[in-house]
A and B are shown apart, each in its own frame.
Chain A
Amino acid sequence: MAHITLNQYLQQVLEAIDSRDGAFCAEMLSFKHPHVANPRLQLSSPEEKSMHLHSFQAHKEENWALPIMFAATLDLRIFANNAEQQLQSKGKGKVGDMLEKAAEQLMSCFRVCASDNRAGIDDSKKWGMLFLINQLFKIYFKINKLHLCKPLIRAIDSSNLKDDYSTAQRVTYKYYVGRKAMFDSDFKQAEEYLAFSFTHCHRSCQRNKRLILIYLLPVKMLLGHMPTHQLLKKYDLMQFADVTKAVSEGNLLLLNEALVKHETFFIRCGIFLILEKLKIITYRNLFKKVYHLLKTHQLPLDAFLVALKMMKVEDVDIDEVQCILANLIYMGHIKGYISHQHQKLVVSKQNPFPPLSSVS
């Protein structure tokens, strides 16, 4: 590869095009291929790539060029990323500009694929849709414009090919849709998608499995399922260890400490705000302990206040305790009512603290 001349290279590409060998052609065009290192071939210009994208549409009722499109769009996104970084280091350009432009190009490819209604199922360009959507997801998440994902999700939901794409593509797709569901606070859905992604992700892709787990863990914890120490160790996610311990023990002090200690990591992954939602679960676990200790169904409010003070929760008084309890009752985590006159929480004699997974 390092020694062939430009003409020889082009001859190979043209032969591949003639024989409709999409995969080989894609390799030759991709910037990951060794041919890039050949200085004799460095006249190739970016204009070429966009030329290919236009001619792609001209292939009526054929889809052998899909691998070429995949390679080209992947390179496009990577270039846009690099361009962004270069511009940022020079202090020029608005954040997200390069990536938005790349997204526009990808959208036009997507429209070509999505509107391919003429060809039969084997020749349809619709098989290119999920790959493109995954590329677009990556960009939208990077530039923080998640609302742009919605029409793409709708397109796949209404497609009859959705379960027939390759597992790899589906794992990536569900990962991003799961993360979006998290962002929209739809935790049941998020768990479904992310769990699928995790179980179907190939066991050799440790890095990807870890990435999925970073988002799956908080969701599972919110639904009351704590990860084992083993799991955290296996995937090098010990940052969650203290959080897990704190939540299951109802230890607010430890939870606050854990969140502060690993703040940078959690904020960078975008899960800090969701982990804060674990506070309400922690309150519930703490108060459940109080109930078990006092062994009565008429619990003095003061007991909860004492428990909170023991957890070093600052400047909290009886009014705030009532508010927290009212919230837990409203959400269904406690079955009972507060009597202000008697300064007591009266809980149901049956199952006053329903299991977390049963509470929506």
Chain B
Amino acid sequence: MNETAMSVGWHQSRRGRGHRHKEQGRANREQVVEQKAEDSVPHGTCMTMCPAYELRQREAQNRLHRFEMVAGTERDRLPSADVSRAVKEYSRPAAGKDSTRASDLRPPSVLLKTVCHLVDEIAASSTSQPWTEVYSFVFDRLRSVRQDMIIQRVSGPDCVAVLEKSVRFLLYASYRLCGQQLQYFDPRINDTHLQECLSWLLESYRDGKHQHQEEFQALSLLYNLGSSQANTHVLELPERIRSSPAVQLALAVSRAHMERNPVRLLRLAQRLDFIQVCAVHRHLLPCRTDLLLLYSHGHSSRNCRYPLQRLARLLFLKDALAVQLCQVCGVNVTEEWVNFSKSSFTDTPSGDLQCRRMHEPLDDERWNCSAGSVIHGCV
């Protein structure tokens, strides 16, 4: 008999299979496998926001952040660490580095307390200035919190609460720091982390009941306006969640976007609450430009004029801003009238007009007051 590769392989795989395999029984084997899996998942024992080892090390190497120092020691040669304010920083996993030491990992309850500290004492505090530095610090420390959650395979209510606050923080930041210089705020990096948190959060919602699910399904849809994947996801949600006011409003906005009806979209946007505006705001400028594009074609005529004030109202912009937007898009505008022409509209990317110019003009004081309640979701 010729021994081909296949038959040899079959003989080899027969080894080790026999009575023992049959005796143990399948159910038993499954249990053993599960137990083994359980044992290899680390469980954190660090009850402070920052592991003691890291705290000592960073203090000795002068690598504490301003927000972690004992008040008054900031200008010392070696500032002192404030145990009640120091937070574990994010560190990239690397070969040879053991990130699973239990004493360095924080259990879910501590992680939640850490997030609350970051939001209440840092992000919402009026004494932490400038806010770009606040963002940088909180962003990094939240990332470390999520890292601890991943290593310990945390799931359940604590995980959901941490993710919800992270999402709100990142959405809020995307609005407040919109238009800032790239070195202080990179919208793409913020977006990457926001999407990661959102998909993890939405995945967690599949099991059990969650109090804020409707709110976040709506926020996810608004943030990802125009994405058919996000739309399909919402359409497949259970009736109870889909019919909630938040999701219905988000769906209405999404429908207006899909039907390419910017007049309707901008009107619906007025009914959004603050955090929802944060989620959708980056889509509003393109929506306004689209309105000008559609009207440039629809109202294209040498002799006709359109009242500027009415256009400004449709765009939900002050007259001066509406004029600027028209100019950037190549739409002819005089003091009171707009003359649409499909040949004069230009599709210059970004142009000179920034999204930021169209935001609510809040001053720093009012920004700080609103931060805490917005991020915790008590508005």
Contacts and interface: CB of A to CB of B under 8 A. Distances in A.
Interface in B254-310: 255, 258-264, 291, 293-295, 297-301, 304-307, 310
Contacts of A329: 297-298
Nearest to B236: A267
B220 to A, nearest CB: 16
A341 B298 contact: no
B13 interface: yes
A220 B14 CA distance: 56
A273 B14 CA distance: 53
Contacts of A267: 232, 235-236
A74 interface: no
A279 interface: yes
A273 B232 contact: yes
Interface string A19-63: 000000000000000000000000101011001100100100000
Contacts of A10: 7, 10
A1 B279 CA distance: 64
A272 B228 CA distance: 11
B2 interface: yes
B9 interface: yes
Q: Tell which of B258, B298, B314 has the most Cβ of chain A within 10 Å.
A: B298
B5 interface: yes
Given A58-B5, A280-B259, A319-B263, A327 B10 contact: no
B344 to A, nearest CB: 14
Contacts of A295: none
B4 to A, nearest CB: 6
A319 B314 contact: yes
Contacts of A346: 301
Contacts of B291: 323
B231 to A, nearest CB: 6
Chain A residues touching B, majority SS: helix
A261 interface: no
Contacts of B301: 337, 339, 346
Nearest to B301: A337
Given A339-B301, A341-B305, A326 B294 contact: yes
A326 B295 contact: yes
A46 to B, nearest CB: 10
Nearest to A326: B298
A239 B31 CA distance: 48
A320 B261 contact: yes
B363 interface: no
A327 B294 contact: yes
Interface in A331-347: 337-341, 346
Contacts of B304: 337-341
B interface bracket (residues with beta carbon within 8 Å of A): 35 or more
Contact of B235 (A43, A52, A272): A272
Interface in A128-180: 144
Contact of A323 (B5, B207, B228, B262): B262
Contacts of A320: 261, 263-264
Contact of A325 (B2, B6, B10, B298): B298
Contacts of A58: 5
Given A276-B255, A341-B304, A270 B13 contact: no
Q: Tell which of B7, B13, B262 has the most Cβ of chain A within 10 Å.
A: B13
Nearest to A329: B298
B288 to A, nearest CB: 13
Given A273-B232, A319-B263, A320-B261, A340 B306 contact: yes
B6 A45 contact: no
Interface in B215-269: 228-229, 231-232, 235-236, 255, 258-264
B1 interface: yes
A interface bracket (residues with beta carbon within 8 Å of B): 35 or more
Chain B residues touching A, majority SS: helix
A55 B264 contact: no
Interface in A265-281: 267, 270, 272-273, 276-277, 279-280
Contacts of A330: 293-294, 297-298
B17 interface: yes
A340 B301 CA distance: 11
A52 B258 contact: no
Contacts of A337: 298-301, 304
Interface string B172-202: 0000000000000000000000000000000
Contact of A322 (B5, B14, B231, B298): B298
Given A48-B10, A273-B258, A280-B259, A17 B4 contact: yes
A232 to B, nearest CB: 24
Q: Tell which of B5, B6, B203, B260 has the most Cβ of chain A within 10 Å.
A: B6
A64 interface: no
Contacts of A326: 294-295, 297-299
A323 B297 contact: no
A310 interface: no
Given A272-B235, A276-B255, A323 B13 contact: no
A20 to B, nearest CB: 11
Contacts of B310: 340
Given A14-B1, A58-B5, A272-B235, A327 B305 contact: no
Interface in B306-360: 306-307, 310, 314
A277 B258 contact: yes
Given A272-B235, A324-B261, A183 B5 contact: no
A18 interface: yes
Contacts of B258: 273, 276-277
A322 to B, nearest CB: 7
A91 interface: yes
Interface string A84-95: 000000010010
B23 to A, nearest CB: 16
Interface in B1-48: 1-2, 4-7, 9-10, 13-14, 17
A55 B314 contact: no
Contact of A338 (B13, B255, B298): B298
A58 B310 CA distance: 74
A273 B13 CA distance: 50
Contacts of A45: 13, 17
A322 B306 CA distance: 12
Given A52-B9, A273-B235, A326-B297, 11 more contacts: A45-B13, A51-B6, A55-B5, A267-B235, A272-B235, A276-B255, A329-B297, A338-B304, A340-B299, A340-B304, A340-B310
User: What 7 pairs across the A-B complex have the smallest Cβ distances?
Assistant: A326-B298, A51-B9, A323-B263, A330-B297, A326-B294, A55-B5, A329-B298
5 contacts: A48-B13, A55-B5, A273-B235, A323-B263, A326-B295
